[in-house]
Amino acid sequence: MFKILYLLIFSFVAFGCAKENADRIFVNTSIYTLNPANETANSVAVKNGRILFVGDEERSYEYSDENTQLLDLKGMTLIPGLTDAHAHIGGTGKFLQTLNFHGTTSASEIVSRVKSAANRTPPGEWIEGRGWDQNDWKVKKFPTSALLDKVTPNNPVAFRRVDGHAYWVNQKVLDLAGITSETPDPDGGRIIRLPNSNTPSGILIDNAMLLISDIIPTPSLELKKRRIVQALSYSLKLGLTTIHDAGTDSDEVAIYTALASEGRLNPRVYVMLDDDEELKEKQFKIGPQIGLFDDHLTIRAIKLYADGALGSRGALLLEPYSDDPDNSGLAVTPESELRASFAEGIKHGFQIVTHAIGDSGNRLVLDIVEDNLDLDLQKNHRSRIEHAQILSLDDILRFNLLGVIPSMQPTHCTSDMPWAEDRIGSERIKGAYAWRKLLDTGVLIPGGSDSPVESLNPLWGIYSAVTRQDHEGYPEGGWQPEERMTMEEAVKMFSAWAAYASFEEDLKGTIEVGKLADFTILSKDIFKEDPRVLLETKVLMTVIGGEIMYDILLKPDDLLLAEE
């Protein structure tokens, strides 16, 4: 792909003034800077991990000497390094190592795969997996433990739903946890029962999942590290240069710190701490930690939870579900605790990011922010609502007025669109995945994947934002097409706007002199071609701090230019 050339360039500086020499210059590339003052260029020079020059290729040679590496990108497209503003790195690593049920079309298909797994699993050992979604099946009902019992008589089985807000378990797990017909639903959770009985069906939703948390084997620190390293390596192949880890426990903080101290934390990580009292108490004593290890690790956010998920009918709604009129969802954290945690985090200087999907859950978070404005909370607090999927039209303007950032995941829209209106009806759907309505108020929308709920691939997220279609092009013209984004807006979701959401807009998100030299290099010009080209675009290189962390074909030295 890239022809090997060896070119020694000795250039005199322009205007007779000495210029700082770059470590590396990327030339012959189509650059989209996302900087309104200098929108396009064809060369970028870097030194000590920062951008030294961006502009015309001929001028870039003024920043070179015999020690400068020149890389010819053969006209490929270079954009600011992509950021996933909401993913679960440890969960993604686990997902890569366990049973994957994404795309399955029936419970029986899963059972068949589980039977094969059980045949190679020693008795008593747990079988875990993730990704099932009953909404994708012909029979759109929750499965039962009985289906698993037939093929796993000797193994405990626990499979997380695609959104992570429900478990499907077999009877052995129910027995080990002591969950019976007498077990009450916990606050903020639900044990699904068999029809016309109190017998647990094998589905545990939201806080009911905690009933089995103590019996699922705890992974060792070494296993957690392997999962994280695998997920980070995978993310580099997808062009990601930063990930916001949405819910990080104490072990993961330790792993990130160790990797960063060894120079191995790539992509960069922005940590949202779990809402764990012991973890928070420890971090409050330290305070926010910003730009550790040459800006590879930042710990300054705390993740709270208002409700569950729409697919499992746990998202908290102002009115009952249209397809479940006795259910309005789940408040997974009592309001008093949510308010106290918010105020405490702000007091200690942390950004508060809160999971809220339903219109009632979102309103509650907005109310909490508004009620805390007297705590010297200014608009630059940048509190975030993670997901913000179903909004009352009356609340959309409040995001801007209160300085709240709607952190959204475009692929949730295209995954949910086949059944979302069935859940909430034709009126409430007008406030669902309402990107354009929010943008028109002046807010910025950082974009993420929520991996492993959805694919970690940011190009797929950009595609969903621009088209509101699935990968087959359905529906024609897009679902609720008036809410689509432009290509520039969609790329900003995963770059400039994500940087703003982590207070890092002066460091990353656009290609400007002085910013971190983080780039994603693509095989296609996504700004000039039909949006469907995103589905076939390859990440050729991922560059972090001016260093090539991923190259699809060659070693970095193979790109060096030198004189023919």
Domain boundaries, the chain: 14-81+511-559, 99-212
Give, in order, the Cα–Cα distances in Å from 284 to each of 246, 258, 344, 513: 18, 20, 9, 35
Kindly report the number of other CB atoms within 10 A of residue 418's CB atom: 15
Q: In 3-state terms, what secondary structure has residue 343?
A: helix
- Mean predicted lDDT score pLDDT of the chain: 93
What are the structure tokens assigned to 340, written together?
């106290």
- d(C-alpha 285, C-alpha 122), whole Å: 45
pLDDT value at residue 19: 79
- d(C-alpha 166, C-alpha 135), whole Å: 13
Does residue 419 contact residue 135 with C-beta atoms inside 8 Å? yes
Q: In 3-state terms, what secondary structure has residue 330?
A: coil
Q: In 3-state terms, what secondary structure has residue 278?
A: helix
- d(C-alpha 438, C-alpha 474), whole Å: 24
Whose CA is closest to 35, among 456, 410, 515, 511? Answer: 511
Question: What b/e string do you get for 95-120 counting C-beta neighbours within 10 Å, with b at 16 or more?
Answer: beebbebbebeebeebeebbeebbee
Kindly report the number of other CB atoms within 10 A of residue 90's CB atom: 21
Which contiguous run of DSSP H or E holds residue 129? strand 127-132
- d(C-alpha 448, C-alpha 387), whole Å: 9
- d(C-alpha 159, C-alpha 114), whole Å: 10
pLDDT value at residue 562: 34
Beta strands in 15-81 (DSSP E): 24-32, 40-47, 50-55, 69-72, 77-80
pLDDT value at residue 379: 60
Question: What b/e string do you get for 29-49 counting C-beta neighbours within 10 Å, with b at 16 or more?
Answer: bbbbbbbeeeeebbbbbbbee
What is 99-212's CATH topology? Answer: Diaminopimelate Epimerase; Chain A, domain 1 (3.10.310)
Q: Could you report the average pLDDT of every consecutive run of 10 residues in the chain (564 residues)?
A: 34 48 97 93 97 96 95 97 98 93 93 93 93 92 95 95 94 96 95 96 96 94 96 97 98 98 97 97 97 98 97 96 97 97 94 98 97 69 97 97 96 97 97 98 98 97 98 97 98 98 98 98 96 97 97 60 33
Rounded to a whole number, what is the distance in angstroms from the first to the last CA of the chain? 18
What are the structure tokens assigned to 243, written together?
């990930």
pLDDT value at residue 38: 87
Please give the single-letter amino acid code of residue 501: A
> H/E/C letters for each residue in 210-252?
HHHCCCCCCCCHHHHHHHHHHHHHHHHHCCEEEEEEEEECHHH
The answer to whether the peptide bond before residue 458 is cis (omega within 30 degrees of 0) is no
- d(C-alpha 352, C-alpha 305), whole Å: 11
Superfamily of domain 14-81+511-559: Urease, subunit C, domain 1 (2.30.40.10)
pLDDT value at residue 227: 95
Sequence-ordered alpha helix ranges (H) in 348-419: 359-371, 396-402, 410-416
pLDDT value at residue 141: 93
Counting Cα atoms < 13 Å in the Cβ hemisphere of 554 gives 11
Please give the single-letter amino acid code of residue 323: D
Give per-residue pLDDT as tens, 43-60: 999 999 999 999 999 999
